[in-house]
Every structure is written in structure tokens, then in C-alpha cells.
Amino acid sequence: MSQADRMSENVVGTFGLPLGIAVNFRVNRRDYLVPMAIEEPSVVAAASHAAKLVRAAGGFVAEASSSLMIGQIQVLGLDDLPGSRLSLLAERERLLAVANEQDPVLVGLGGGARDLQVRIVPETPAGPMLVVHLIYDCRDAMGANAVNTAVEALAPLVEEITGGQVLLRILSNLADKRLARARAAVPAEALALDGLDGQEVAERIVDAYALAAVDPYRAATHNKGIMNGIDAVLIATGNDWRAVEAGAHAYAARSGLYQSLSTWDIDSDGNLVGTLELPMAVGIVGGATKVHPGAQVALRVMGVQTAQELAEVIVAVGLAQNLAALRALATEGIQRGHMELHARNMAVAAGARGDLADKVAARMVEERVIRLDRAEELVGEMS
């Protein structure tokens, strides 16, 4: 409780989530146990099962591109935007040097300011403006505090150089220079389910993905399923899941149409092949990762040594979650496994405990009536 009081304000308690361990994950030829903090039924089991399918085919191949974040500085009140842009670029080295003075420890670890970019935004509700992008290497930190400190320090110098007025100075959560990618290939025969041969299941999965590729109504739910897995690992490891969510959904809409974050196809050998790419701003140092004792345990369980490695595991979890959801949707429907677990929640909500909860849940699944009122009736009958 005392630790929680230091992490937030007006603290009156702590709020727990179930913490599970996803198994069967093999990423870049290394095995991982993956902590996942989530209250939604079937997520951990689904990820573990999909990882088992992928593992039999060699596991996930994943990479994280870099640890670069973007800090933005908004400059208003300029008469000559092109001229002001050139003035800032001419002072690039001076600006980068000031940014690097803000965190000599991070610079000593090989991080710090890498580049300066200046965008002209000619039309906004507030009129034309410049937006300065500070490209900042955060190494093994998520980097929000380091980036925000750097752009705050640059604001007076930007005003001096341009004669304009700086308003916003803050990082961007569209971390498109910090992408994580994963790929998985599964032999079609491994996908067989409920009387359907594996080739048909693979084709159904590709057809199901196709709707998410073009329709934002489907893509929103498709991507939510991906984030079920990703967010659960982010929460367990003390990372900012809201930042990654924001970046993921912005990245999904980068073409102007909100689309699927993943792709699925069948290769020339008949394997089902999936890929997933999204911004992944995560850290293993700083923030809650070093303050929350549960997050520290989760990172030790995973055994990751760098933020890049953590990002690679997390994006593999997202792809596994997507595979599990698409396979269920394309065959038995999403509700079968989900509702079996949901029945337990209904039983507990109705007052059942221990073995009684299991018996009530089993009866509701058998009857295919999973509602609180029925759970209450069964608790009364079976108590």
C-alpha cells in the first residue's frame, strides 16, 4: 500500500488482476514463459494453444527495429514557415547538443538525441505552424520522461531561433521508428478442427482476415483481439499499455483507412503464414517496471535482457492471439471456449464457491444457457 501511494494520487487501495503464464512460446529459437495480467476468459489459454501450433513449425521469428522515440515541439506565430524551418535545421547540432545535456546517463549508455526533423503544417484550425521532431534513442527505457525533458529544454532555444511561440512540447505515441514485427508459419494440417481438414481451416482464416484488411468495423475487433495479448503482457511487466494501444491504432490507420495490423496468407508450400507489425515502445528500466514488485517478477520470469527482446516477445504474443481468434471464428465460433470460461464467472457471481462453482458452470454449458439468473437458480438447487 505504501508503494502504491507513491505511484499515484488519492490512493485508497490496490486493484488486482488475474496473472497467468502463457506457455509454448518459442521466439527467435528461444523459449519463454510469458506473464499475462488480464481478467478476460480464454486469452491466456488461446495464446498458449496458438503458440503450441507455431512452436511445432519452428516458432516465431521476430525483430524490433530500434529504440527511437519522437518528441514534438509545436511552433506558432511564424510569418515565414520555410525560412524558420531552414533556420532550425541550420542549428541542428546545437539543438541536439542541448537535448543530450539533459540526460548524461542515458547518453553514456549509448542513447540520446539522434536527429532533428522539421515539418511545415500549412493548414490547421489554429493556422499554419511548424512541428519539430526530436528523434531520441531511449535504449532500454520506454522513454517518455527522457523525451519530454529534452523537448522542454529545447523550447526556449527554438523560440530564439525562429522568433515564434512554442506551445506543445511532448513525445508522440505514434512510435513508428520503434516498430516490432513477428512472423509465424503453420502447416495447414496442424489447423484441422471439428471435422474440417487443415487446408480448409487455413483458407477460412485467410478469408476472415480479408474482411479486417478492408473494413474498419471488422478491423477494430480484429485488432482488439491482437491487443488482448499485447496489453496483458504490457500490464504484467509494468509498461504503459495505453501508449502502445494509442500507437497501434494510429499505425493501423496510417493509410487513411483503419485496417488490420496483421496479415495472413497461404504460401507456396501450403503453410498458413501470418505477420504482425506495430509500434512497440516498451522498457525494462525506469517507470513502473522498476517500482512495481510484480512487474519486476514478471520480467525475471520472462528472462528478457533488453527492451528490444521484450518487444519481440510481446509482438509474438499478439500474433498468437490473432491466430487463435481467427481459427476459432473461422471454425467453431468465438463463443464456445469463451463461454465455457464465462460460465465460471457467472457461477461465482451467483454465489457459488469451490466445487459448486465448477458444477454450476458445467450444467450451464451443458444446457447452453449461460446467464446470471440461471446460475442463481442452479446454486439454489445444488447447494
Please identify every residue annotated as catalytic: 40, 224, 240, 338
Question: Which among 102, 192, 182 has a CA at the least distance from the CA of 150?
Answer: 102
Q: Tell me, rounded to whole angstroms, the distance of Cα 354 from its chain centroid.
A: 34
Rounded to whole angstroms, what are the CA distances from 288 to 3, 56, 141, 145? 11, 35, 11, 12
CA distance 242 to 222: 18
What's the longest Cα–Cα distance across the chain? 80
CA distance 144 to 138: 9
Alpha-carbon radius of gyration of the chain: 24
Q: What is the dihedral of CA 282, 284, 287, 293, to 10 degrees?
A: 130
| Contact yes or no for 241/318 (Cβ under 8 A) | no
| H runs (alpha helix) in the chain | 2-7, 43-56, 81-90, 92-100, 104-108, 144-162, 198-214, 216-236, 241-252, 288-291, 293-302, 307-330, 335-349, 355-367, 372-382
